[in-house]
Amino acid sequence: MAAGPGRESAPLASAPGLEATALRHVFGQYPTGVAIAAARDAQGQVVAMTINSFSTLSLDPPLVAWSIGARSADLAAFCDAGRLGISLLSSAQEPQARRFADPLLRRAPASAALLDLDNGTPRLRDAVGWLCCRVERSLAVGDHVMLICQVERFAVQPGEALAYHRSRYTRIDGQRAWT
């Protein structure tokens, strides 16, 4: 797909001839879950951000992965945290997804009504799933750093999951697409 009239996109450095905007459009065809990764920085403050790069890797040992931009101001906090929480958002949590996706808004301290800090690893209240993870490894991959984490604890609760598809939030209700 071409970028279209009046829309420019820079070619990707690693793949001559591919346009970043067109590639982003193709990637957008694949729906992803929406989660919030949260950790404590070196000063003990909670750092949290919306992610949709979350992926399961292994059941034995229980491993998950997600990636963060190599230029992110929060990269060191997540890589050095040791442990982090990953909250899998419910369809009712789009406002929280937007808040923690915004680089300025996510810097404002989160209230106790939003984050549960009692167990030491931050998690978003009312998420459909939560994982407490130990950061095992970080790998520089392209313009991101992939964090591979071992799951130490988890929790789940009923609800519809939040997804991101074609540049907008949507819900996953678990209903079959056909009858």
Any domain includes 9: no
Any domain includes 3: no
Containing structural domain, residue 74: 32-165
Domain count across the chain = 1
Any domain includes 118: yes
pLDDT of 179 > 90? The answer is no
Cis peptide before 61 (omega within 30 of 0): yes
Please give the average per-residue pLDDT across 87-101, as a whole number.
95
Please give the average per-residue pLDDT across 19-36, as a whole number.
86
Q: What is the mean pLDDT of the chain?
A: 86
Share of the chain above pLDDT 90, in %: 58
Per-residue pLDDT, 48: 94
Per-residue pLDDT, 31: 83
CATH number reported for the structural domain that contains residue 140 in this entry? 2.30.110.10
Per-residue pLDDT, 63: 98
For 76, the token pair is 């060191």
For tokens 């799951």, name the residue.
151
Any domain includes 26: no
- What number of CA atoms fall less than 13 Å from residue 116's CA on the CB side? 14
Please give the average per-residue pLDDT across 63-80, as a whole number.
95
pLDDT of 2 > 90? The answer is no
pTM: 0.83
pLDDT of 149 > 90? The answer is yes
As a whole number of angstroms, the distance between CA 133 and CA 26 comes to 31
Any domain includes 7: no
Any domain includes 14: no
As a whole number of angstroms, the distance between CA 56 and CA 73 comes to 25
Q: How distant is the alpha carbon of residue 119 from its chain centre? A: 21
Any domain includes 2: no
Any domain includes 13: no
Q: How far is CA 15 from CA 72, 113, 160, 168, 172, in A?
A: 23, 45, 38, 27, 33
For 46, the token pair is 């909670």
pLDDT of 56 > 60? The answer is yes
CA 140, 51, 20, 57 torsion-angle sign:
positive
